[in-house]
Amino acid sequence: IGIGTAGPAVLHAAFLADREVEIEDALGSWMSVVETPFTDDQYSNALPGVLLAYDLPELAAAAKATVRRPVGASGR
């Protein structure tokens, strides 16, 4: 289970290990960080250039993750 800021890291680990996971109260999209002028500590989860390849919703689908209550860049 990935909760909060651990969500993106758990998604990547689940994809690489081919394991199902649950993500709660975590960032729902890196694109929302790009589109939001003020964020709540979201750059600690960012990977340079990642949006050229995928965003978190695509990763969650590929990792067979259940995502509950995703948050936007403002943390809400």
**Nearest to residue 31, comparing CAs of 12, 8, 1, 10?**
8
pLDDT of residue 51: 87
pLDDT above 80: residue 5: yes
Q: What is the pTM of this model?
A: 0.82
**Nearest to residue 1, comparing CAs of 72, 75, 68?**
68
pLDDT tens-digit series, residues 17-46: 998 899 999 999 988 888 888 776 766 767
pLDDT of residue 47: 77
pLDDT of residue 17: 94
Contact 65, 22 (CB under 8 A): yes
pLDDT of residue 36: 82
